[in-house]
Amino acid sequence: MLRILLIVTIAIILPLSANALQDAIDKAPAGSILKLHAGVYKGEITINKPLSIIGQEKGVIIDGENKGTVIKIQNSYVTLKNLTIINSGTRHEKLDAAIAMAKDGAMGKIKQCEVSNCIIKDCLFGIDMQMVDNSIIADNNITSKKLDLGLRGDGLRLWYSNNNIIKSNSLIKSRDMVVWYSHGNVIEKNFGKYNRYSLHFMYAGKNYIRNNVYENNSVGIFFMYSQDSIATNNIVKSSLGATGMGIGLKDCSNFTLKNNTVIYNAQGMYIDRSPFEPGTHNYIEGNKILYNAEAIHFHSLSIDNIIKDNIVMGNIEDVVNDSKRDRIEANEIVGNYWDNYVGFDNDGDGIGDTPHKVYRYADQLWIYNNNVKFFYGSPVISLLNFLAKLAPFSKPLFLMEDKKPKMYKVL
């Protein structure tokens, strides 16, 4: 009976003294649930035991007073719910955050924590997870401090953190969401806007990215030095700037990008030396690549990608290769719908009778010369483009062909 009494819910109404919340945490038995009523509580608190802190009603605010990290979680089995967390410090080298999850001064894992239904604002970093496994980060709204984009902290950081669920969070006017050296995470139904990288992976594997929406960021989803991951049913739109990117792969192997929508970006799909591992493939299938300046941009040697059943429509350029000697034709590109395809379907099988071939003409010098690119889309370049295709004054360079282009699209 005594054991049951030690973990019974503790409902508290704290006075607004300097250390009331920390005092309550220190005095509470492991496994306690602290339910807070509306009010402003002083931050810079540390939780080093299994414990839950839950806002019992709206208006539960934990204020860091612009000093350090607001809440430090240093143990497993900690839950934070229904809280508004504000005013972290501003020091990047200390990773001043709303919530920092890491063991205190020792290597080790934190596991089975939950942060949900929290509002994080005016905090340099949002949630910083260092060596955290099997935890849930869900339904949080995260905004950084009002700084220039590069000076903001990351809204959500996973570092050596595995098998977590990151779900239905909103990151707006943060810097990045990063997943580094972290494997087996499910990242789904999140929303990102006005960030730099809405989602950035590095040395990460076996992650599942699905049903997220990212818009008005510099880059939507970018994978680096990673492998064995799936990104499906995501929407990446309106990436900002002349190099705004939808989805990018750099030195990535055994990836599946399927049923994503990439729309209104400077670069739709960006492929750089991927797949990286010999004998592997990347599968880019069933995506809608719509109304971008460049639908698919190849950089460096990128072969053995399987690109099929995609809809490529409304883009200024279908395929761009900015490396003169690389072999796009060494990828399997087949069964896609290209709105620029010129051909017939005499046998009615839905497949073009002739391949869809893409060439580089002399007017595409802008690929190698940024000064020329300044004039891209101007009437002069449009006229030059038309004349080069009508009567090329030099032999065009063959880039790739789709031997079985689809005649019909299903959006």
The tens digit of pLDDT for each residue in 340-375 reads 999 999 998 999 999 999 887 655 555 555 555 555
Q: Are residues 110 and 218 in the same domain?
A: no
pLDDT score for 300:
84
Is residue 78 domain-resident? yes
Question: Residues 279, 305: contact at Cβ < 8 Å?
Answer: no
Span 116-125, mean pLDDT?
98
Tell me what percent of the residues of the chain surpass a pLDDT of 70: 86
313 and 211 belong to one structural domain: yes
CATH number at residue 74: 2.160.20.10
Using an 8 Å Cβ cutoff, are 52 and 75 in contact? no
Report the alpha-carbon distance of residue 249 to residue 304 in Å, rounded.
13
Last residue of a domain, one of 158, 173, 188: 173
Least Cα distance to 299 among 257, 254, 249 occurs for: 249
Residue 191, in any domain of the structure: no
210 shares its domain with 306: yes
Q: Per residue in 160-184, pLDDT tens?
A: 999 999 999 999 999 999 999 999 9
pLDDT band at 2 (very low <50, low <70, confident <90, very high): very low
- The reply to whether 19 and 100 lie within a common domain is yes
Same domain, 61 and 106: yes
- Per-chain mean pLDDT for the chain: 89
Out of 140, 173, 206, pick the residue that ends a domain.
Answer: 173
> What is the pLDDT at residue 288?
98
372 assigned to some structural domain: no
The full 3-state SS of the chain, as one line of letters, equals CHHHHHCCCEEECCCCCCCHHHHHHHHCCCCEEEEECCEEEECCEEECCCEEEEECCCCEEEECCCCCCCEEECCCCEEEECCEEECCCCCCCCCCEEEEECCCCCCCCEECCEEECCEEECCCEEEEEECEECCEEECCEECCCCCCHHHCCCCEEEECCCCCEEECCEEECCCEEEEECCCCCEEECCEEECCCEEEEEECCECCEEECCEEECCCEEEEEECCECCEEECCEEECCCCCCCEEEEEECCECCEEECCEEECCCEEEEEECCCCCCCCCEEEECCEEECCCEEEEEECCCCCEEEECCEEECCCEEEEECCCCCCHHHCEEECCEECCCCCCCCCCCCECCCCEEEEECHHHHHHCCHHHHCCCCCHHHHHHHHHHHHCCCCCCEEEEEECCCECCCCC
pLDDT for 369 equals 56
Does one domain contain both 18 and 161? yes
pLDDT score for 326: 65
Map tokens 């229904």 to a residue.
82
Question: Do residues 145 and 231 both lie within one domain?
Answer: no
Contact at 8 Å (CB) between 263 and 240?
no
Together in a domain, 108 and 73:
yes
pLDDT (0 to 100) of residue 301? 83
pLDDT score at 385 = 64
- Give yes or no: residues 128 and 16 share one domain: yes
- Indicate whether 362 belongs to any domain: no
Average pLDDT (223-243) is: 95
Does some domain include residue 397? Answer: no
* Cα 170 to Cα 215: distance, rounded to the nearest angstrom: 12
In a domain, 243, yes or no: yes
Cβ–Cβ < 8 Å for 55, 61: no
Is the pLDDT at 13 greater than 50, yes or no?
no
* Band (196; pLDDT cuts 50, 70, 90): very high
The least confident of 40-54, 314-328, 359-373, 385-399 is 359-373
116 pairs with which residues across the strands?
81, 138
Assess whether 17 and 158 both reside in one domain. Answer: yes
Number of domains in the chain: 2
For residues 162 and 223, state if they share a domain: no
Give residue 259's domain range: 196-356+406-411
Query: Which residue, of 138, 173, 208, is where some domain finishes?
Result: 173
104 vs 232, higher pLDDT: 232
pLDDT greater than 50 at residue 271: yes
Give yes or no: residues 257 and 322 share one domain.
Answer: yes
401 belongs to a structural domain: no
- Residue 1, pLDDT score: 25
Question: Is the confidence at residue 8, as pLDDT, over 60?
Answer: no
- Specify if 3 maps to a domain: no
Write down the residue that tokens 């729309």 correspond to.
Answer: 263
pTM, rounded to two decimals: 0.89
